[in-house]
Amino acid sequence: MLIEIIVGSGAALLVFLAWKGINVLPVLALGGLCFLLFYLLERRGELAPLRIGTCSPQAGVSFEDVGGQGPAKQELKEALEFILQAESVRAMGIRPLKGILLAGPPGTGKTLLAKAAAAYTDAVFLAVNGSEFIEVYAGVGAQRVRQLFRRARQMALAAGKNRAVVFIDEIDVLGSKRGTYHAHQEYDQTLNQLLVELDGIRPDEKVNVLVIAASNRTDLLDPALLRPGRFDRVVRVDLPDKQGRLQILQLHTRNKPLDPGVDLAAIAQETFGFSGAHLESVANEAAILALRDGAKSIAQHHFREAVDKVMLGEKLERKPTAEELRRIAVHETGHAVVSELLQPGSVTHLTITSRGNALGYIRQVPAEDFYLFTKEYLEGRIQICLAGSVAEDLVLGSGSTGGAGDFQEAVRLAKQYLEAGLSDLGVVSPEDLPAGVRHRTVQRIIGGLRERVRELLLPCRSALVKLADRLVTEETLSGDYLRAVLREEVNCA
Ligand code: ATP
């Protein structure tokens, strides 16, 4: 109303001035410029539109395309039943499900699950990234949130559907605890708008919007987002277990020619800690390696090499000198022999091919997936870390900088050992422990275990030399060859 009065009075004033013979053109030009600026500021959100990814349920992904993740799929399906049975839900006076939060590490299939949820509920699917809402101009984020929900409703109506799934990836970028970013209130306004939109979803609406958000850092989220009535379902999407890894590998090799001898279960066993995205990459890299080899189908060794590549990076053209190569071979042989002595059957291969930051490496297979470290296991891991430099000492008479990375890992494990109450200090409060005591305890743990590694490797000196020499010529040795040599060496128990 006030604006109308001002505009009206202004126009009247201009007419009066013109009637009096005063030149009003400069005033008109200035007014026009102000109007243009005002207009641009108002519409800046639309001028820099939100990038929204969409996919139709027909072209989309179904729950069958998501490998492993049994509990997550089950939980998600249960939640989606509320949407499919909207009539009964409404009749019972149950409020609609507004948001589901998928929480878990990167690459575990959260986006896939959201797409599958859209297909399952026959809804239109819109995907955006949390970072899309963050702009330097105040108000743009909030405007984009409104734009997103408006688009979801429009798209559903245009497609003749009454459901829409809005997927917000990395919601922690826009949904972190309010007040975190003191410098600018833009983040807070954006989050407030999202909360308003979530609260605005009502059972009587023509289009039922479901927000599925994903985050690797749920601890950063504003509590208002997690309170019941908003994202009141939190579904954990964890790294896949062995069976899950096998299913994912099977899914991603469906369209690839495999050798009859390929054992995907063995690859699944070797890839503990891999996410779905890692496994997809393994299948893809294996196919690329087979193509480079000119092979018609993918063999087991292509998969093995693909796992190394995904784990450590591309093979490097680095050419160490002959002397360095021998040192690397001795170092890796040390790791492999101790690994085999402590956990028989654990080494799949050892190599002196440089990849990523590693000059050489050994690959071990855990017998089973495990989620808890015993005292013996941690001691074993530390010994395997130290074995490379001990072998260098024994065979070559001195160590090298090649052991630095191993020592860092050994120190990390020793700290874990201490904090778990496994050291001679017993159970401790790590933060109250004086730094000197902590340092000396870590040194004691590592010193004692280094001595044990020396005792293990001393009788194996000739096996170390034999294996290292062979490794220099062959570049890669299999775990089976390593075990055969160790069996021949009577002293090396
Ligand atoms: P981020 O948190 O990094 O966004 P995300 O959890 O959303 O990752 P996706 O984008 O769903 O992960 O997965 C990336 C790719 O990894 C998928 O396109 C798919 O090829 C593969 N992938 C991941 N998890 C699975 C799975 N459980 N089954 C089959 N493929 C998977």
Q: Are residues 334 and 476 in the same domain?
A: yes
Residue 183: the pLDDT is 47
Joined tokens for residue 32: 């026009």
> How far apart are the C-alpha atoms of 133 and 148, rounded to whole Å?
10
* 182 vs 297: CA distance, rounded Å: 57
Nearest CA to ligand 1 atom 31: 276
CATH number at residue 297: 1.10.8.60
User: Which residues form the pocket of ligand 1, taking CB atoms under 6 Å from any ligand atom?
Assistant: 66-69, 106-112, 169, 214, 216, 248, 251, 276-277, 280
pLDDT digits (tens, 9 = 90+) for 225-242: 888 878 878 899 989 988
Q: Among 171-180, 229-238, 351-360, 459-468, which stretch is predicted with the lowest mean pLDDT?
A: 171-180
Residue 182 pLDDT greater than 60, yes or no: no
Q: Is the dihedral of CA 408, 411, 413, 416 positive or negative?
A: negative
Active-site residues, by number, are 332
Torsion of CA 52, 55, 56, 62, to 10 degrees: -140
Among 333, 382, 324, 391, smallest CA distance to 362 is for 333
pLDDT digits (tens, 9 = 90+) for 331-371: 999 999 999 999 888 898 899 888 777 788 888 877 666 67
Q: Give the span between the Cα atoms of 62 and 68, in whole angstroms.
A: 13
**417 within some domain:** yes
Whether 430 maps to a domain, the answer reads yes
Ligand 1 pocket mutation pick from 62, 111, 173, 256 by most atoms within 8 angstroms of CB: 111
Flag whether 477 is in a domain.
yes
Within a domain: residue 283?
yes
Q: Are residues 18 and 76 in the same domain?
A: no
Q: Is residue 48 part of a domain?
A: no
- Residue ending a domain, choose from 289, 312, 335: 312
- Do residues 216 and 300 both lie within one domain? no
* CATH code where residue 453 lies: 1.20.58.760
Residue 47 lies in a domain: no
Q: pLDDT confidence of 50, banded at 50, 70, 90?
A: low
Same domain, 329 and 378: yes
CATH of the domain at 86: 3.40.50.300
Q: What is the pLDDT of residue 357?
A: 73
Residues 380 and 462 in one domain: yes
Residue ranges making up the domain that contains 258: 242-312
Q: Do residue 66 and residue 142 come from a single domain?
A: yes
**Domains in the chain, number:** 4
Last residue of a domain, one of 268, 288, 312: 312
Which residues, including other chains, have CB under 8 Å from residue 379's CB and lie 6 or more apart?
417, 449
Place of tokens 């979801």: 152
Q: According to the model, what pLDDT value does residue 284 have?
A: 95
Tell me: pLDDT of 140 over 80.
no
Nearest CA owner, ligand 1 atom 10: 111
Least Cα distance to 114 among 35, 257, 215, 21 occurs for 215
Query: Tell me, what's the pLDDT at 92?
Result: 83
Please check whether residues 13 and 88 belong to one and the same domain.
no
pLDDT over 90, % of the chain: 32
Q: With cut-offs at 50, 70 and 90, classify the pLDDT of residue 263.
A: very high
* Range ranked top by mean pLDDT from 129-143, 157-171, 381-395: 381-395
End-to-end alpha carbon distance in the chain? 93
- Both 122 and 6 in one domain: the answer is no
Ligand 1 centroid to Cα of residue 277, in Å, is 5
In this structure, the answer to whether residues 266 and 386 fall within a common structural domain is: no
Task: Copy the structure tokens of residue 278.
Answer: 């890692």
Mean pLDDT of the chain: 84
> What spacing in Å lies between the alpha carbon of 248 and ligand 1's midpoint?
10
Specify whether 10 is located in the same domain as 60: no
> Which pTM was predicted?
0.74
Same domain, 85 and 190: yes
DSSP character at residue 122: T
Q: What is the DSSP letter of 221?
A: B
Pocket test for ligand 1, best of 62, 108, 285 (most atoms within 8 A of CB): 108
Distance 251 CA to ligand 1 centre (A): 12
Among 294, 312, 330, identify where a domain stops.
312
CB atoms near residue 203 (< 10 Å) = 12
Determine the pLDDT at residue 47.
Answer: 47
**Claim to verify: residue 299 and residue 336 sit in the same structural domain:** no
On whether residue 317 sits in a domain, the answer given is no
